[in-house]
Amino acid sequence: MSEPKGIPETKPGRTEIDDLADAAKRNPTAEGLTPLYQATFDLSRWHFVGMGTFPNLAPFCGVVDDIGYVMAFTDPDRARFYAGQQGVLALGDKPSILSFPVREAARLCIAQQNRRNVTGVLFDDGWGNWYFPLQALPTYLDRYLVADDASA
């Protein structure tokens, strides 16, 4: 097992998925949302800031505009930077980052609905900022997850 990485010194830059999120905000129709949703489900993994200690780790959940979300990230460095900004440092001065294949990550998010009183998964808070309602994740998995992982 590798040594956990520390917090990036500078905020990770923008990516193509941020541009898709911006386009979806300008055009919140199926035409505008589909490329963003497809890109999100085409990722190899979703990343989360871990809370708790092994073996009882859970993804960090936050409240934005009075709505509870599982906070997910498209890149582990974004998750690390966010953890540092929020002061969520489970390993002393280092964050615990959880990374899962998309189907497993979506199941983890859905499981938080009853445990943590969250209603959505918010991606890349501080960058693109888009979300999926947890109730819609099973449908989105069926619609957008083309390359399935072995944990199906």
CA distance 11 to 99: 19
Write out the residue range of the structural domain in which residue 65 sits.
45-144
Q: Which residues in the chain come in under a pLDDT of 70?
A: 1-4, 90-91, 147-152
Residue 26 placed within a domain? no
CA distance 90 to 112: 19
- pLDDT for 57 equals 84
In angstroms, the Cα distances linking 60 to 16, 33, 118, 145 are 25, 25, 11, 24
Number of structural domains found in the chain: 1
Residue 6 placed within a domain? no
CATH for 71: 3.40.1350
Residue 95 placed within a domain? yes
Residue 53 placed within a domain? yes
Residue 123 placed within a domain? yes
Residue 37 placed within a domain? no
Residue 136 placed within a domain? yes
- pLDDT for 114 equals 77
